[in-house]
Chain A
């Protein structure tokens, strides 16, 4: 159970880093580009670490857990990114329209 949770969290961070490396996501989030090297490292190293953890189980369970945790982690990462982008949409942006002052 612990292995599944840790593998899922590793995958979630890795997938989040992968999303942060895509210009489209940055545009949707409305955030400036972030340093790429740590994100690249996260994207590569964390799934390998998750695989190493899953190897502690027997082979079949390990493979199934590795793929399964990636799927579930993807849902979490996507939910987190969606919340971020919805917040970014609601954030007031600078306009050249005059605003009313109470």
Chain B
């Protein structure tokens, strides 16, 4: 081995790519699914399929305001989310440390809709930004992985710099296995390079204070830092048993809309005797959380809090680019496909790493461990995600703490996939690990549509192409892809 720039960069790309890649596959898969977190939550609450979207009425809002106030007097840090085109329901929610959960209300009359308790698509959001490992260490790990991705991207460019433009679309599946995988890895990496670099960079900067705690700014880039976090159980300490009666919310909403713009308010937050009508994340490109505060007692306007200048707007712009909550459906699909291709590209990189080291180190413990972890993130994680959807429909809807049980199912299945991967990697036929997990994934993905049919009210089934059918069809396509890979692996 000679000590040239290209070889040195190759080594850096290989090792940073492998160690970071194990985390980044989880981050990219979780992030891609989190793009449709609201839609997945809808799919996981099939009771909502009977309800047609209806406009928010003032009576309903006032009623929900009183309910939220009752919850707050019981010590729960509840807030209200208003209906949006993506989620046309009124919700009273609180943060349980990992996700925002709560009760769904009909926006027309404010009556509760009995839905099953679920973490919904927010599990994937948590998995994406902190690997479900808490806001400190989890975020820090993903931060380091994001920097690793940037390093891997640039070192990858340096390695292939001479042939980047000439080989831009080159894919030779008929060549040797390593060549074909390498072509696929480079192809996906180059084509989606702008997306991946942008996501890694914006993601890293958004959570930058985690990596530099000494420069922590709280909610940096957002106006008003007054919202305290109560992660454990959503309890609001000292919120008082004697909360004052709440003035009607509807007039406050109308006043706030006059200031912030019609249909822009998405959240109603309660703080120390005030009510904040906060701009929805989907209202503008730069996520600003501008809000108008009112007195809780008489509903009089106290203040309008907006981003003061462009320096503060930077954080919002980065969040807007990364979270893409403002964008239309086609744009979110564009992000979703890009995220999935990124995930596949990194999985391909992990597989290439194993291919390179297999001839010399196939019997060593570390190689087998690397293969086990690779199988667990490339095929085990999609299997766990699918089991989460299955568990949602198979656990009966009034099971106590069923939201937590669903999440436990996700992690149990992932752990089982890891054990299975270890058993196969440490045996004589490691390829079986991939193959069997692909087969199980394909079987469960292809039958998700019948499961949806059986566990959902058939009333709204012929209503056109709704969110339920979209999820079913997407998972069906993934199932077909897994079946194809399974067949190819059998044929090899």
Interface residues, chain A, CB within 8 Å of chain B?
1, 4, 15-16, 18-19, 22, 24-25, 28, 58, 60-61, 64-65, 67-72, 74-75, 77-78, 81-82, 85-86, 89
**Contact A60/B170 with A68-B334, A75-B191 known, Cβ cut-off 8 Å:** no
Let me know if B338 is at the binding interface, CB within 8 A.
yes
Distance between A56 CB and nearest chain B CB, rounded to angstroms: 14
Task: Give the residues in chain A near B321, CB-CB below 8 Å.
Answer: 60
For A79, give the chain B residue with the smallest CB separation.
Answer: B171
Task: Give the residues in chain B near A25, CB-CB below 8 Å.
Answer: 169-170
User: A78 touching B341 by the CB < 8 A rule?
Assistant: no
User: A28 touching B169 by the CB < 8 A rule?
Assistant: no
Let me know if B330 is at the binding interface, CB within 8 A.
yes
User: A68 touching B171 by the CB < 8 A rule?
Assistant: no
Interface residues, chain B, CB within 8 Å of chain A?
165-174, 187, 190-192, 194-195, 285, 320-321, 327-328, 330-331, 334-335, 337-338, 341
**Contact A61/B327 with A67-B195, A68-B334, A78-B187 known, Cβ cut-off 8 Å:** yes
Distance between A6 CB and nearest chain B CB, rounded to angstroms: 12
Instruction: Report how many A-B pairs have Cβ atoms within 8 Å.
Output: 75
User: B174 touching A89 by the CB < 8 A rule?
Assistant: yes
Task: Give the residues in chain A near B341, CB-CB below 8 Å.
Answer: 71, 75
Looking at A22, A71, A77, the one whose CB has the most chain B CB atoms below 10 A away is A71
Q: List 30 A-B contacts (CB under 8 A).
A: A15-B169, A19-B169, A24-B166, A24-B167, A24-B170, A25-B169, A28-B170, A60-B285, A60-B320, A61-B327, A61-B331, A67-B195, A68-B195, A68-B338, A69-B334, A70-B191, A71-B195, A71-B338, A71-B341, A72-B338, A74-B168, A74-B169, A75-B191, A77-B169, A78-B187, A81-B169, A81-B171, A82-B172, A85-B172, A89-B174
User: Given the complex of chains A and B, what is the CA–CA distance between A89 and B172 in angstroms?
Assistant: 11
Task: Give the residues in chain B near A74, CB-CB below 8 Å.
Answer: 168-169, 187, 190-191
User: Given the complex of chains A and B, what is the CA–CA distance between A69 and B331 in angstroms?
Assistant: 10
User: Given the complex of chains A and B, what is the CA–CA distance between A24 and B167 in angstroms?
Assistant: 8
User: Given the complex of chains A and B, what is the CA–CA distance between A16 and B194 in angstroms?
Assistant: 20
User: A65 touching B334 by the CB < 8 A rule?
Assistant: yes
Task: Give the residues in chain B near A71, CB-CB below 8 Å.
Answer: 191-192, 194-195, 338, 341
Task: Give the residues in chain A near B335, CB-CB below 8 Å.
Answer: 68
User: Given the complex of chains A and B, what is the CA–CA distance between A70 and B387 in angstroms?
Assistant: 34
User: Given the complex of chains A and B, what is the CA–CA distance between A60 and B335 in angstroms?
Assistant: 14
User: Given the complex of chains A and B, what is the CA–CA distance between A68 and B191 in angstroms?
Assistant: 9
**Contact A67/B173 with A60-B285, A75-B341 known, Cβ cut-off 8 Å:** no
Task: Give the residues in chain B near A69, CB-CB below 8 Å.
Answer: 334
User: A22 touching B166 by the CB < 8 A rule?
Assistant: yes
User: Given the complex of chains A and B, what is the CA–CA distance between A82 and B321 in angstroms?
Assistant: 33
Known: A15-B169, A18-B169, A25-B169. 8 other contacts (CB 8 A): A15-B168, A18-B165, A19-B168, A24-B170, A60-B320, A64-B327, A78-B169, A78-B187
User: B172 touching A28 by the CB < 8 A rule?
Assistant: yes
User: Given the complex of chains A and B, what is the CA–CA distance between A28 and B170 in angstroms?
Assistant: 9
Looking at B168, B190, B327, B337, the one whose CB has the most chain A CB atoms below 10 A away is B168
User: Given the complex of chains A and B, what is the CA–CA distance between A86 and B173 in angstroms?
Assistant: 8
User: A18 touching B173 by the CB < 8 A rule?
Assistant: no
Task: Give the residues in chain B near A28, CB-CB below 8 Å.
Answer: 170, 172
User: Given the complex of chains A and B, what is the CA–CA distance between A81 and B172 in angstroms?
Assistant: 10
Task: Give the residues in chain A near B285, CB-CB below 8 Å.
Answer: 58, 60
Distance between B110 CB and nearest chain A CB, rounded to angstroms: 35
User: Given the complex of chains A and B, what is the CA–CA distance between A1 and B319 in angstroms?
Assistant: 24
Task: Give the residues in chain A near B168, CB-CB below 8 Å.
Answer: 15, 18-19, 74
Task: Give the residues in chain B near A81, CB-CB below 8 Å.
Answer: 169, 171
